[in-house]
């Protein structure tokens, strides 16, 4: 019969031999995410001037949590798995501090990497399409959802003055509908209209205003950081969208310059 104390010692040794992955999860508010965008060496001046929009978007996307994930989107600004840098896993990305997550998001999936549909929606911020008000939140949702869904929703707006929805022409994003180009809603049945309203409410509630900020230093008119609450929001508001007061987001013509430090991503990976 083996010595039970020896068995316990062997079991304890086996446990200590298993590598432990430590995740530096943290939650930030909209103003802190806005500041990280302003501090990023990869952010163009246009992106810095609209940083509060993305601070608000982060509250809708993740509640400001660096470890937020739905299985395909990760981190404070919900970078998709296909936009992770080569050789980086989602776990490694979520373990990064806020500034590095923001730096990679700007390079891999920021608004400057979007196409023609985004430029159209972004150019209409503050006006309307067929009577539907276009806000900074609408443009942010367009950038977050990508060119396919944004272009489909824009086409619907131009035709009917409204976005598709579940039960009204909506096609939920799946591997199949993304591959065949029919998806016009995200995986949670959200359009750029419905999710744009969610984002706009978060922007309005944040108190962050780029109008008098002095990038890339501490914003001068944002309230003191407070813990953010909430998480991924699946529902869209039932009321209308508030008017956008922020300037349009950066277009594809303002691709952020890549600095010589931090994580460098080649143009082929963007």
pLDDT tens digits along 26-43: 999 999 999 999 999 999
| 3-state percent helix, strand, coil for the chain, nearest multiple of 5 | 45, 5, 50
Number of structural domains (the chain) is: 1
pLDDT tens digits along 97-150: 999 999 999 998 877 656 789 889 988 999 999 999 999 999 999 998 989 999
Q: Does residue 45 form part of some domain?
A: yes
Nearest in space to 61 (alpha carbons), one of 171, 186, 149? 186
Q: Does residue 9 form part of some domain?
A: no
Q: Does residue 251 form part of some domain?
A: no
Q: Does residue 57 form part of some domain?
A: yes
Euclidean distance between CA atoms 208 and 211, whole angstroms:
9
Q: Which domain holds residue 114?
A: 30-234
Query: pLDDT grade, residue 72 (50/70/90)?
Result: confident
**pLDDT for the residue 46:** 86
Q: Does residue 2 form part of some domain?
A: no
Q: Does residue 206 form part of some domain?
A: yes
Q: Does residue 194 form part of some domain?
A: yes
Q: How far, rounded to the nearest angstrom, does the alpha carbon of residue 248 sit from its chain's CA centroid?
A: 17
Q: How far, rounded to the nearest angstrom, does the alpha carbon of residue 183 sit from its chain's CA centroid?
A: 19
Q: Find out whether the peptide bond into 83 is cis, omega within 30 degrees of 0.
A: no
Euclidean distance between CA atoms 112 and 240, whole angstroms:
28
Q: Does residue 104 form part of some domain?
A: yes
pLDDT tens digits along 209-261: 875 443 333 332 333 333 333 222 222 332 333 333 344 444 333 323 222 22
């Amino acid at each position: 019969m083996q010595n039970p104390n020896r068995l316990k010692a062997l079991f304890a040794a086996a446990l200590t031999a298993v590598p432990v992955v430590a995740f530096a999860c943290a939650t930030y508010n909209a103003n802190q995410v806005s500041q990280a965008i302003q501090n990023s060496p990869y952010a163009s001046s246009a992106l810095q001037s609209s940083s509060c929009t993305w601070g608000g978007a982060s509250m809708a996307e993740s509640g400001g949590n660096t470890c937020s994930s739905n299985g395909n989107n990760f981190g404070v600004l919900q970078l998709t798995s296909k936009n992770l840098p080569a050789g980086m896993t989602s776990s490694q990305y979520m373990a990064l501090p806020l500034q590095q997550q923001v730096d990679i998001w700007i390079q891999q999936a920021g608004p400057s990497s979007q196409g023609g549909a985004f430029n159209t929606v972004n150019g209409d911020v503050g006006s309307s399409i067929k009577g539907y008000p276009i806000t900074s939140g609408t443009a942010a949702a367009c950038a977050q959802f990508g060119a396919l869904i944004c272009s489909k929703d824009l086409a619907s707006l131009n035709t009917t003055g409204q976005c598709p929805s579940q039960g009204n022409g909506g096609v939920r994003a799946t591997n199949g509908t993304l591959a065949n180009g029919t998806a016009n809603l995200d995986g949670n049945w959200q359009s750029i209209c419905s999710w744009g309203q969610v984002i706009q409410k978060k922007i309005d509630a944040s108190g962050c205003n780029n109008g008098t900020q002095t990038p890339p230093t501490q914003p001068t008119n944002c309230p003191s950081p407070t813990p953010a609450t909430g998480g991924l929001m699946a529902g869209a508001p039932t009321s209308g969208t508030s008017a956008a007061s922020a300037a349009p987001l950066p277009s594809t013509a303002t691709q952020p310059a890549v600095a010589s430090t931090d994580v460098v991503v080649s143009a082929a990976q963007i």
